[in-house]
Amino acid sequence: MTAPSGIDIEPLRTILQMECQRHYADSVVIGGLDKYLRRWAKETTDKIGSAQLLAHFHALQLAEPGYAEWNTEKRKEWVEGVLGWLGQIEAATGAAPATEGGASGMSTTHSPDGDAELDSPVTIVKGITTNLASKLVRLGVNTVRDLVYLFPRRHLDYSQRKSIAELEVDEEQTVVATVWEARAARLGNQRGTEVIVGDETGNIRAVWFNQPYLAKTFRTNARLVLSGRVTAFKRQMVFESPEWELIEDKELVHTGRLVPVYPLTRGLYTRQVRNLVKRVVDSWAWRVTDFLPQEIRTRCQLLGLPEAIVQAHYPDSHSMKAEARKRLAFDELFVLQLGVLSKKRDWQETQPGNAFSIDTGIVNRFVNSLPFTLTGAQQRVLREIFADLKEPKAMMRLLQGEVGSGKTVVATSALLVAAGNGYQGALMAPTEILAEQHFRTICQLLSRKNDGGDEQGNVRGYDGVLSRPVTIALLVGSLSEKEKEALHQRIQEGDIDIVIGTHALIQKGVEFWKLGLAVIDEQHRFGVLQRSILRQKGFNPHLLVMTATPIPRTLALTLHGDLDLSVIDELPPGRQMIRTRWLEPELRGRAYDFLRRQVAAGQQAFVVCPLIEESESIEAKAAVAEYDRLSKEVFPDLRLGLLHGRMPASDKENIMQSFRDGTLDVLVSTPVVEVGIDVPNATVMLVEAADRFGLSQLHQFRGRVGRGEEQSYCLLLAENPSPEGRERLKSIEETDDGFKLAEKDLELRGPGEFFGTRQSGLPDLRMARLSDVPLLELARKEAIALSGSDPGLKMPQHYLLAREVARVWQSGGEWS
């Protein structure tokens, strides 16, 4: 690109400089500056050769300003911004030619392109020493931008100004008064400061404990602002340790307004951080270029970015604070969506997928062989999946279904379709126990149409399902090296049609001959990275991820916006509601009695031991101890089995087998039974230390029972639950709706913990509330429209936005 040339800079510069001298009264141009600018922009836009300068041009809203409506402060900042931009144009025309999209010589030295400087370390700010910077790091603040974006946790409302006579006890209020007397004083047995201030309506005392030095700060006759609560002491009102501020010419920072409360860390003080952020925001916020296209900003009625940042810190009013939050939250959600959508585009549109033909013969034969009929929801979801598989682009679908809704048969049908098309299919589960169970279930389902297969080992073949024998294998970490190698070999040669396994599936040695469909079960246990490694084992295979952790639709679309959504919203008929009870510790004996009675009636029970996050081996030891205790002291007459993640696979399999066969009455286990285990004769789920689990997890445990005809029960024990723990236990007792529980869980734990930020690979959301459905929808709608009209954000007016998406997603971690 050549340098912009032939742009008439001087007249505009002169006008703006005059505007500046006339205190931004919009009095320089007859008819107003807006009109002039519109004409000027029309003549100029096409002449701006550099993408960066053009982006700035749009960011400054030069084509469509609203100067007439702005207040003086906004006008001032805008004029300064435009003058800076004009300087850049001049530099580009005069000296170094600007290159496409890149920073040319002009942005290296001092430049009005404040945006680049925003990513400098905080130490470039005057007064921030390396010592102070090292404290700020603890708040996650490294760059100037981080500091500008260090939003307060909340605001104190000190905006209620009163005269001294109007003050009321116990309310947050502000007075502006004159200091009559200030002295260091003994307050009880502490040293502190005492002042008497007054206004035309009266006098009041204010005291600060432990801060005798303050007395010197408050000189007699100084004007002082006090904000805080007033208490009554011996029928006299007093301000106790109020926020204070001397009236100088400056804006109030600590009093008299909505005052921000920032996160602090050791060695940082409230007033210090407030002063620092105020100073930095005042001088830097206006340099943040607004990356949102003007059109979107107008349509969604959003504040400009610098304005929003300023108002988020020091709002003029409650409504401005809300406006600021809306804008900043929109940004987070919008950028999140754009990133997610561009991933989807990469997968689906830039690489061709494999179109399958759907052989209804195969599907019907399989479905008809099942011992039950599919529910309406299962049938609908299958149709949705088949419609995707037929397309020559990769399916990317999330299948949500309540615990026990029957996702496995749906997945199996899809895997058979893949096999019928001559492709391989893979099903990945988070634990060996679950992978083994899937293997056995699917083998069982297929063997119904089988004319005798090999019923042993980790590879099995079945006739009568496809027109040729179909081969199914189990690949888990605990196989011997020799078995694994043999299996790797057969997978690579295409000798295996369907592989079921754990993480072992995505290890290096595993190469598929022709992977056409990857299914991931219980996807919340996997990160985005693992999902994408499995995909990369094939040439753009179809992807189906399944979860029993249901989240509200809008939220699912936002967070998994790269996936299309199918929901099984219907349980197979005949399922009973599970009775759930949270028992106080002293009722433990009753819980055991109850369990014993159920066993006597021919049922079986689970006992889940506490979650121990530090290590799986400690968790295993705890389970062993609990197993010993229960089998020796509590249930010596019952048949107990033990299951934990550290056992050799063959032992696990034996135990599960015995439990399924009914030769064990009680299965004592670590929380590994959380996902997927299916033993219809089990009717009691007893969870120890239930308060330590998240709601969704408790719901999963509960889903292990109630799979047969009998009434089932979930008993929750908790020694000494915290208030939040109590709230969770109450919720799970009262609700059996997985969606409602997931929502509640989200609310109680926040999105970070709920999704496991480390795993999710999603960028942080700081201002956005995931409960704000209208805003979620708005951001998603705008993101979809924009990705449609400018896929890849290639247009010059979207240059800044593209850069922001790249910036945010880069720090968002493991997104592949």
Least Å from the CB of residue 570 to ligand ADP: 9
| Of 421, 430, 427, residue with least CA distance to 442 | 427
Least Å from the CB of residue 373 to ligand ADP: 6
For residue 47 the two structure tokens come to 């002449």
Binding of Mg ion by 404 (CB under 5 A): no
In whole angstroms, give the CA distance from residue 168 to residue 352. 71
Binding of ligand ADP by 413 (CB under 6 A): no
For residue 169 the two structure tokens come to 């006890």
Q: Sign (positive/negative) of CA torsion 417, 419, 422, 424?
A: positive
Q: Is 675 exposed, middle or buried (0-12, 13-18, 19+ CB in 10 A)?
A: buried
Which residue number, 404 or 425, has a Cβ lying nearer to ligand ADP? Answer: 404
* Residue 204: contacted member of ligand ADP, Mg ion, none (CB under 5 to 8 Å, by partner type): none
Which residue number, 676 or 796, has a Cβ lying nearer to ligand ADP? Answer: 676
Binding of ligand ADP by 379 (CB under 6 A): no
In whole angstroms, give the CA distance from residue 79 to residue 73. 10
Pick one of 9, 247, 374, 587: the residue that binds ligand ADP (CB under 6 A). 374
* Residue 375: contacted member of ligand ADP, Mg ion, none (CB under 5 to 8 Å, by partner type): ligand ADP
Strands 682-687 and 154-157: unpaired
Binding of ligand ADP by 405 (CB under 6 A): yes
Binding residues for ligand ADP restricted to 541-560, rule: CB under 6 A: 548
Which residue number, 152 or 676, has a Cβ lying nearer to Mg ion? Answer: 676
Which residue number, 173 or 523, has a Cβ lying nearer to ligand ADP? Answer: 523
- Angle at 567 (CA atoms; ends 564, 571), nearest 5 degrees: 165
Which residue number, 379 or 816, has a Cβ lying nearer to ligand ADP? Answer: 379
| Residue type (1 letter), 210 | N
Binding of ligand ADP by 697 (CB under 6 A): no
Q: Which whole-number Å values give the CA distances from 338 to 94, 300, 351, 763, 801, in the listed order?
A: 37, 16, 19, 12, 10
Region near ligand ADP per CB under 6 A, out of 209-217, 401-409, 645-653, 766-774: 401-409
In whole angstroms, give the CA distance from residue 593 to residue 587. 10
Region near ligand ADP per CB under 6 A, out of 400-408, 625-633, 727-735, 808-816: 400-408
Pick one of 676, 703, 725, 751: the residue that binds Mg ion (CB under 5 A). 676
Binding of Mg ion by 763 (CB under 5 A): no
Binding of Mg ion by 406 (CB under 5 A): no
Strand partners, 651: none
Least Å from the CB of residue 566 to ligand ADP: 12
Binding residues for ligand ADP restricted to 704-743, rule: CB under 6 A: 707
Distance of CA 793 to the CA centre of its chain: 24
Binding of ligand ADP by 400 (CB under 6 A): no
Q: How many CB atoms lie within 10 A of CB 352?
A: 12
Binding of Mg ion by 65 (CB under 5 A): no
Region near ligand ADP per CB under 6 A, out of 57-65, 111-119, 245-253, 370-378: 370-378
- Angle at 309 (CA atoms; ends 308, 313), nearest 5 degrees: 110
Least Å from the CB of residue 409 to Mg ion: 10
Residues 112 and 86: beta-carbon distance below 8 Å: no
Which residue number, 574 or 636, has a Cβ lying nearer to ligand ADP? Answer: 574
Binding of Mg ion by 430 (CB under 5 A): no
Binding of Mg ion by 703 (CB under 5 A): no
Q: Which whole-number Å values give the CA distances from 331 to 763, 782, 809, in the listed order?
A: 12, 11, 13
Strands 223-233 and 172-187: antiparallel
The continuous run of DSSP H or E covering 621 comes out as: helix 616-629
Region near ligand ADP per CB under 6 A, out of 295-303, 353-361, 403-411, 586-594: 403-411
In whole angstroms, give the CA distance from residue 339 to residue 676. 32
Least Å from the CB of residue 668 to Mg ion: 22
Residues that bind Mg ion in the complex, under the rule CB under 5 A: 676
The contact set with ligand ADP (CB under 6 A) reads: 372, 374-375, 378, 401, 403-409, 548, 572, 676, 678, 707
